[in-house]
């Protein structure tokens, strides 16, 4: 699958006290699509996720338990994809957003799924959704 996903934390400024946790360019093989060959042959997809996370009033104390972990976000995506075939890119995006929103600290989830190998003369095609509480 090649590339290692770029993952990081970004702290937003302002009174809202939001932190953005994101995963960029996660490449994964998935059974995704409506055509017969897409039901049986995995294809490369690229997943990008941006989570708005409400910061609490307490300091994070340099402890991973006190933050939304991008590693856990990646594991959620991998578990969802491992469950098997999904017909629509939109459905997969909804499943990922819903999984991210199970963490009560996450107030919004933006999920982009790209299929880079589907349209010959396009770098990629796909869907981006944003869901919140």
**Distance in angstroms (rounded) separating the CA atoms of residues 13 and 27:** 30
Domains and CATH numbers, the chain: 6-132 (3.30.1130.10)
Whole-angstrom CA distances from 54 to 3, 21, 39, 104, 120 are 30, 11, 38, 9, 41
Residue appearing with tokens 């972990």: 69
pLDDT for residue 64: 84
**Distance in angstroms (rounded) separating the CA atoms of residues 52 and 58:** 18
More confident residue, 35 or 6: 35
pLDDT surpasses 50 at 87: yes
**Distance in angstroms (rounded) separating the CA atoms of residues 97 and 75:** 13
Q: Which range among 7-11, 27-31, 51-55, 67-71 shows the weakest confidence by mean pLDDT?
A: 7-11
Q: Which two tokens stand for residue 38?
A: 């897409």
pLDDT for residue 56: 76
Cβ atoms of 85 and 32 within 8 Å: the answer is yes
Q: Which two tokens stand for residue 35?
A: 């055509």
Rounded to the nearest integer, the mean pLDDT of the chain is 90
**Distance in angstroms (rounded) separating the CA atoms of residues 36 and 29:** 16
pLDDT surpasses 50 at 19: yes
Cβ atoms of 47 and 77 within 8 Å: the answer is yes
How large a percentage of the chain has pLDDT more than 90?
Answer: 76
pLDDT for residue 15: 56
Name the pLDDT band for 75 (thresholds 50, 70, 90).
very high
- Per-residue pLDDT of 91-133, as tens digits, reads 999 999 999 999 999 999 999 999 999 999 999 999 999 999 8
């Amino acid at each position: 699958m090649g590339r290692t996903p770029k993952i990081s934390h970004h702290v937003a400024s302002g009174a809202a006290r939001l932190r953005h946790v994101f995963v960029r360019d996660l490449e994964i093989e998935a059974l995704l699509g409506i055509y017969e060959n897409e039901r049986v042959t995995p294809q490369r997809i690229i997943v990008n996720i941006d989570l708005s996370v409400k910061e609490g009033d307490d300091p994070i104390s340099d402890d991973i338990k006190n933050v939304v972990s991008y590693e856990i976000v990646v594991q959620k995506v991998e578990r969802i994809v491992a469950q098997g075939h999904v017909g629509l890119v939109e459905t997969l995006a909804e499943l990922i957003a819903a999984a991210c929103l199970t963490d009560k600290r996450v107030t919004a989830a933006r999920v982009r799924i790209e299929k880079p190998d589907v349209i010959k003369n396009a770098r990629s095609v796909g869907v981006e959704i944003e869901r919140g509480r």
